[in-house]
Structures are given as structure tokens and as C-alpha cells.
Structure 1
Amino acid sequence: MRRNLDGSDRAIVERLSRDARVSNREIAEQLGVTEGTVRSRVKRMEEERQIRITAVTNIDRFKDAALAYIWIEVERSDQTKAIASALADVTELGFVGVMLGRADILAITMVRNAEHLAEFVHKRISVIKGVRGTRSTLGVNFIKHDYRVARIVS
């Protein structure tokens, strides 16, 4: 049974989203609960796949790379799920999502430059059966990049 996150769960997630290496003891002190409470809640949320604690690459440190957004249109809408699944198997892609709007799918990856992006799209994306076309953009200067973007918004 998967439960909704309550206020204490959200407070724990908020604290972990700032620094996932913080100790359960420190979180417990800040929230006024026991360390065991924090430990069991984190364990439950991980087991129920409500959270995942992981390391995140700091894209600000990659001076020779750009974030590439690849907008993909499919030939037929009933192909969208299969194409998105095929894209999810492409190891270089860090994000694949089915979208509403002009594009059917958005894929995100890191590339060295525009030439590298073009080569990647032509060799790895456009060859997938059912892909009608792609449009790409490069993010070159990030004003704000919040690593917690995937957190649960209350």
C-alpha cells in the first residue's frame, strides 16, 4: 500500500533535497522527532518509490558541454509510447517524456557542441522507426538550475 506524503515526510524530503548526505539525527533534531522516525520514514518512502536518493551531476562544472533539448514528432500518435520506450533505452539520454503541444516527445542529453548534437540526432534518434522529425535547441547559459526540480511540489 502506497501512502500519500504527510507534512513530516515532506519536511524530510525538503531537507534531503538540499543535502542528501545530512544525517538522520540532524533531520530529527530540526523536526523535533526521533532519529528512528526519520530513518523509518526515509526507508518507507524509498521502498514505496516515493523518493530516490542519488548523486546528481553539476552541469555548471561542464564548460565544454551544453544541454540539448530534442523535440520529437512521431508519425502516428499510437506509436508515441513505443518510440518513447525506445528512446529511454538510449543511454546518452537523461530524460525522455511524452509531451502535449507541438512535439510528441522531449528528450534531453548533454553534447559537446552543435555538430555533436546533429550527429547524435541523425545516428541515434532519427533512425528510430516512427520518428517523423526532430527540432533541437541547446541550452548554453543557465541562470538557474535547481537540482531539486524533481521534488514533490505541495
Structure 2
Amino acid sequence: MSGGAGTVRSRCYNLSVDGVDDVDERLVRELQRDGRVSFETLARHVGLARSSVRTRVQRLVDARQVRVIGAIHPSVFGLEQLGHVTVRADGPVQEIAAAVAAMPESSFVTTTTGRFALTAELRTVDLPSFAVAVSEIQGIAGVHTVQVLNYLHIWKDPYFPPGTLQSIDLDAADHALLTALRRDGRASFTELAAATGITAGTARSRVLRLLDSGLVHIGALVRLDPLGDGRTVGFALQLHGEAGPVADKICGFEEVDSLVVGVGWCNAIGTIRVGNDDEVFATLERIRALPGVRTVESWSHLRAIKEENDLARRDASTG
């Protein structure tokens, strides 16, 4: 997911810029929902002047804590098989994490507490390729066991394009627009036109078409490295019966940033983002109390070794 089910960021406790307050967090949440929202609209949401909002957003961007990027649906790159892996290690995990992060199939890697040494999301073209990637991880020196959850449905993820994916034909201009948006989700239509060789009007219509199709979601990327003073906690569920009713209720919890249902060592994996341990416990208790939940296992994320949109940042630095 975005970052996969082991990661997410809709609540903004990751922000480590001095002086970040509730208004900044509200601004980032709005930008996560719609990265191209106007400063005028943001100002109305938080009750400040447009100039003050622009200054606050720019400060977060300049501090490299927030970037507004286009999160591209994996299918655009031919990646149809997504899954989550948890890894137990026989010894130190740093070199294992680095090796998993170096794999092109990994989109997110974090070190964790608990019985797992690290978690990762993998994206491949098909199931056989996914199996090869899992085997590669199993062959890394120091890896004890690997547990896999193959995704069936991504219920919630602020960095995965929401809604129903529509099949549309993409040409060279569309791919150029996606590349440009991946670098800067708030680029003007004039800037996008200059980057792709089409008119501003055509750029506007094509961007709206890409957004409507579900192939791209433009939102604020909050950096997870370091994770900051908040708590990022992953959890795995064993369920009774159908997963849908339980998943629907969990997705309504503001504290839950991501949730994926799949087939594998558990029925679902998600992430909680809150400010302190008491809120972690309270959220886990709410999940445990839901009808249909059999068991809940949880772990804390310590450090993001690889973030889903590392490629976008490399593109931005070299483009």
C-alpha cells in the first residue's frame, strides 16, 4: 500500500518542523485529500488568510517534511500483484533491511519492534514474479522466516488512488503528465504543458481525466524518516467470516490510516497513526471489540528504510 498496509500518514504526527501546530496538521490533512486544492479553499477550511496559508505550506515544503506528489496506480507500470511481507531475523536486521530496500519490487520497508524485524510491501507484474521476490528475501543472510499476505482489496490508504479504477488508453503525453505530477503534484497547467509539449488547456483536460480514472491521486506526502514523536503501529487481524463488514467499520476509525484485506498468514493488515501509547491501546481495543475480529497482533514501526515515493524524490532531484 503505501505505503502499503504497514505504513501511512493521514494524521500528521510525523511532522518534526519546529512550531508545527494543529493548523499545520489540518492543512496537511486537506492536502492529503486533494493535493491541488487552492490556497483560497485551504484558507476557508482553517480560518486564516490566504497569504498565511501559503506561508505555512511553503515552510513545511522547504523543510522537506511535506511534498505534494502524484501517487500513480501500480497498474500504470504493469504492477498487478501487490502484497505485504513480515520478516523475522536470526540476528541484526540493518543489512537485511538494506537488501530488501534495494530490491526494485519493494515499495516500502520499515524496521519494527515485536517478533518481526521488518515489514515491507512488494509490487510485481504477476504472482510468479511475486513468488520470486519472496524467495529472494528468504535467501538473504540472517532471514529466519517470511510471512506473506497477498492483497485482495485495499480498503484505505492515503497514498493509493481511491475509488474504482477505470481502464483508459494512455499515450506518450499521458505518461509525460504522470511523470511530471509524480515530481510536483501542484505544478500549474502551464508548467505541465511546458513539460509535456501540449497546450495548457489540453494538460488540464488530460489531468482531470487521469484523476477521474483513478490512475493517479495527488496528495501530500509526509516523510516517515525519521518517524518523529508520534506512534506508527501496524496490526494484523484474524477474522471470523467475511472480512468486508469488519473492514468497513475499521476504515471509519480516524486513527487507522490504512487497511488491506488479503490471503495469507492473516486476513487483514493495517496501520494506526496516533500521538501516544494510550491512543494506540484505545484504538486496538476498539478493533478487538468489533464483531468478527478473532485476534489482533500489533507491532511498532521504528524507521522507514524505504518510502513508497522515493522514486518521485529522486526524479525531482535529478529532473
TM-score, structure 1 length as denominator?
0.79
| 1:6 aligned onto 2:14 | no
Return the offset for 1:92: 2.2
1:146 equivalenced with 2:161 (yes/no): no
Task: Map 1:44-63; keep pairs closer than 5 Å.
Answer: 44-58=59-73
The 8 Å contact of residues 72 and 105 in structure 1, kept in 2 or not, is answered as yes
1:1-50 CA distance string (max 9 Å, x none): 93142121112112111100111122123323222211111111122233
Say whether 1:104 aligns with 2:104.
Answer: no
Kept in 2, the 8 Å contact 1:56–1:147? The answer is no
State the distance in 2 between where 1:61 and 1:26 align.
Answer: 31
Residue aligning to 1:82: 95
Distance 1:110 1:56 in 2: 14
Tell me how large the CA RMSD over aligned residues is: 2.9
Alignment partner, residue 46 of structure 2:
31
Q: Aligned partners of 1:112, 1:105: CA distance in 2, in Å?
A: 23
Q: Which amino acid aligns with 1:36?
A: S
Q: Which runs of 5+ in 2 are unaligned?
A: 1-15, 160-256, 259-271, 276-319
Higher RCO (CA-CA < 8 Å; seq separation 6+): 2
**Percent of aligned pairs sharing the same letter:** 26
Q: How many residues align?
A: 150
Aligned residue in 1 for 2:146: 134
Amino acid across the alignment from 1:71:
T
The residue number in structure 2 matching 1:18 is: 33
TM-score, normalised by the number of residues in structure 2 = 0.41
CA contact (8 A) 2:85 2:119 kept: yes
More strand by share: 2
Residue 125 (structure 2) pairs with residue 119 (structure 1) = no
In structure 2, relative to structure 1, the CA distance for the partners of 1:128 and 1:42 (3 Å cut) is same
- Counterpart code for 1:146: D
Instruction: Structure 1: give runs of 5+ residues left out of the alignment.
Output: none
Structure 2 counterpart of 1:65: 80
